Chains A and B, each alone.
Chain A
Amino acid sequence: MQLTGAEIVIRCLQEEKVEHVFGYPGGSVLFIYDELFKQDQIKHILVRHEQAAVHAADAYSRSSNKIGVCLVTSGPGVTNAVTGIATAYMDSIPLVVISGQVPTAYIGQDAFQEVDTVGITRPCVKHNFLVKDVADLAVTIKKAFYLAQTGRPGPVLVDIPKDISAKKCEFHYPKTISMRSYNPVVKGHTGQIKKALQLLLDAKRPMIYAGGGVILSDAANKLTKLTRLLGFPITQTLMGLGGYPATDRQFLGMLGMHGTYEANMAMQECDVLLAIGARFDDRVIGNPEHFAKVSRKIIHVDIDPSSISKRVRVDVPIVGNVPDVLDELIKQIESSEAKPEAMVETKALAVWWKQIEAWRGKDSLKYKMGSDLIMPQYVVEKLYEVTGGDAFVTSDVGQHQMWAAQYYKFDKPRRWINSGGLGTMGFGLPAAMGVRFANPKATVACITGEGSIQMNIQELSTCKQFHLPVKILCLNNGYLGMVRQWQQMFHGNRYAESYVDALPDFVKLAEAYGHVGMYIDKPADVEPAIREAFVKHKNELVFLDFQTDKTANVFPMIAAGKGLSEMILAEEL
């Protein structure tokens, strides 16, 4: 049967079992919207800005194993989406973005709402396509879904000119696809894994460092099993939180620029490092030369060969899918004659753990709590208690993001949703929407600041339309806090443009959108307010505007260009 391009788009999405599409209509996608209108298998979520559509679809992906899909129009629709696409790209999130384009005959003529979409998005997608023939449309969409979800995942964009969505052709959706130019590795090299295991068993000061790759590949259970088998300490990156239970004794907390003292010290001082699905980025190891001062053997498991030996020289590279490699490691440990506890030089390991406990004794996340000022850390701790540590937590970017990562102890994967790589302010609220669509009954909290929340505040309207009972915890200190912290520490207390003047009355603003607003300025009111929001207003969106200590800083901190063991600790330590 002959179908139009627009019908083909919808049929393809149905074939891929897509349930939700986040988008915003416009001229170039009118035919596609017309077909969306005629069916009810796929639900369209109308956002209020295309950036939010992509963030929502992104968090939909992050918080489930379903793929996020968004639909935007040409020109400004696409340019608005770019920040979202780049955010997903930096964190390797699988997404399919469908964009409208001006009719093929108009391309290159500076037509109304024309931009070179493929050109603009090229550096921030895993791959993109411009469909020039309706006969290629179905197979292109199939490729987009395949590419986005396999190998190192990422966003894939399909640009569809308006005339292509109107033209007809025979519809056939391929069941499978193979591309001679794209063959991601799955299994790790057995010999390399054997070598890695030997290093691990010979280690005196071993350390496991795991990143977002563990979450993306659904390998949390395997990582936990391996870590417990070995009895080694483990740390996680900002993107990896939840990949190993944070309440477990073997977990040393997050590492990096705002990591715990024990995680950073152990990372620096270890003699064998097992890196899994992580990429040694600048916010994690700080200065690579300082990191290299201590000699250690590094085993690096990653699906992307270009992540290996990029910033840090690696001794045993293992290219492969994380769960497959972990399976093989576990298998080799279990099939070896000696039991791992006996194989590991337990005495050395005990000495190492003693050292780690001494570092842990510094209690680097301790903070002072007065009776009149709300400490932002305290809000996160209370949120953790009230939600039983079981909420999905999204965040924006800045100090509040770090406090959320430090004080909310994630025991499960895919619960912590933040923009780690690109550091996109405005991510949190649309992300919370996406989480809620992927997990319709879940408790969803968005930890944000008064700066970030205003970057996508218009989504309060989307939340109203779709009855999304998200709880927004705004740590309002009247400053772009992280900027202020850097200005205080490195720019002689000159707070250039970091003071957020003329803030709206967030309570009234929430109410104007039809939600519940709460103003909290006393420490004693924090817990009752959170309880009220999550219990009494369970089914409503609540905006909790916490007036927090304006001078609070995030500690520990490693200044830019410094090494892992050169942490600045809170003044009171």
Chain B
Amino acid sequence: MRHIISILIENEAGALSRVAGLFSARGYNIESLTVAATEDPTLSRMTIVSIGSDDIIEQITKQLNKLIDTVKVVDLSEAAHIERELMLVKVRATGKDREEMKRVADIFRGRIIDVTESTYVVELTGNTSKMVAFLDAIDRSLILETVRTGVCGIGRGDRILKV
């Protein structure tokens, strides 16, 4: 099962490597990992997407909690939540493909944020399946480059992860 784990962690040097090291040392899988400081600069928030059985996810949560710098850990996917990721795609946009690319980007509510005579950069926000759907919808041979931030997520309504 795919899980989205959110971590509040002290914004100390090496915090990221403690988390990354834990995953590699114990053989856990990381689909994506994002991290940045929160509104409180002493805290970082990390979002990790991992795939594993319930037992493994339970161990991951416990092991993350065991790290001395970890303040809180929540498995967002246990309840209602929102997840988003940002993707930038550089595509070839010439001739008839130029118009088609604009059209598809519009359908996916993407924005074209860089334009040259022969390329576009499309910015797309959404959940992972939307990213995949967009890439499937355009001609693969036109894709020059893609970059994704990985998932970040937040609980719905009263579910708040805060110190």
Contact = CB atoms under 8 A, between A and B. Distances in A.
Nearest to B10: A181
A203 to B, nearest CB: 26
Interface string B38-67: 000000000000000001001100110110
Contacts of B58: 309
B66 A304 contact: yes
A160 to B, nearest CB: 15
A180 B163 contact: yes
Interface in A263-315: 304-306, 309-310
B71 to A, nearest CB: 4
Contact of A182 (B9, B13, B18, B68): B68
Contacts of B132: none
A118 B12 CA distance: 13
A305 B69 contact: no
Given A180-B71, A304-B66, A309 B17 contact: no
B59 A181 contact: no
A126 B68 contact: yes
Interface residues of B, number: 20
A177 interface: no
A179 B67 CA distance: 12
A528 interface: no
A123 B21 contact: yes
B1 interface: no
A149 to B, nearest CB: 13
A306 B71 contact: no
Interface in B94-119: none
B157 interface: no
A29 to B, nearest CB: 22
B105 to A, nearest CB: 43
Interface string A38-78: 00000000000000000000000000000000000000000
A378 B163 CA distance: 60
A181 B66 contact: no
Contacts of B69: 181
B108 to A, nearest CB: 40
B55 to A, nearest CB: 7
B63 A122 contact: no
Contacts of B62: 305-306
Contacts of A509: none
B66 A306 contact: yes
A267 B14 CA distance: 43
Contacts of B66: 304-306
B65 A305 contact: yes
A147 B14 contact: no
B13 A130 contact: yes
B133 interface: no
A306 B59 contact: yes
A305 B64 CA distance: 11
Nearest to B8: A181
Residue picked from A123, A126, A147, most chain B C-beta under 10 Å: A123
A93 to B, nearest CB: 17
B163 A119 contact: no
A168 interface: no
Contacts of A180: 71, 163
Residue picked from A123, A179, A180, A181, most chain B C-beta under 10 Å: A181
Contact of A310 (B18, B25, B59): B59
A118 B14 contact: yes
Contact of A179 (B21, B63, B68): B68
Interface in B55-88: 55, 58-59, 62-63, 65-66, 68-71
A225 interface: no
Contacts of B9: 181
A127 interface: yes
Given A180-B163, A306-B59, A306-B63, A122 B68 contact: no
Contacts of A310: 59
Interface string A113-155: 0000011001100110010000000000000000100000000
A100 B18 CA distance: 21
A58 B111 CA distance: 60
Nearest to B71: A181
A147 B14 CA distance: 18
Interface in A171-227: 179-182
Residue picked from A123, A305, A306, most chain B C-beta under 10 Å: A306
Contact of B17 (A119, A127, A147, A304): A119
A123 B70 CA distance: 16
Contacts of B59: 306, 310
A289 to B, nearest CB: 14
Contact of B25 (A123, A127, A130): A123
Contacts of A309: 55, 58
Nearest to B18: A122
A304 B59 CA distance: 12
Contacts of B163: 180
A126 B71 CA distance: 16
Residue picked from B9, B63, B66, B71, most chain A C-beta under 10 Å: B66
Nearest to A132: B13
A282 to B, nearest CB: 15
Contact of A147 (B13, B21, B68, B70): B68
A122 B71 contact: no
Nearest to A152: B66
A127 B18 CA distance: 10
Interface of B: 9-10, 13-14, 17-18, 21, 25, 55, 58-59, 62-63, 65-66, 68-71, 163
Given A181-B9, A181-B71, 19 more contacts: A119-B17, A122-B17, A122-B18, A122-B21, A123-B21, A126-B68, A130-B13, A130-B14, A181-B10, A181-B69, A182-B68, A304-B66, A305-B65, A306-B59, A306-B62, A306-B65, A306-B66, A309-B55, A309-B58
Give 4 closest A-B pairs by Cβ, nearest first. Answer: A306-B62, A127-B68, A181-B71, A305-B62
28 contacts: A119-B17, A122-B14, A122-B17, A122-B18, A122-B21, A123-B21, A123-B25, A126-B68, A127-B68, A130-B13, A130-B14, A180-B71, A180-B163, A181-B9, A181-B68, A181-B69, A181-B70, A181-B71, A304-B66, A305-B62, A305-B65, A306-B59, A306-B62, A306-B63, A306-B65, A306-B66, A309-B55, A309-B58
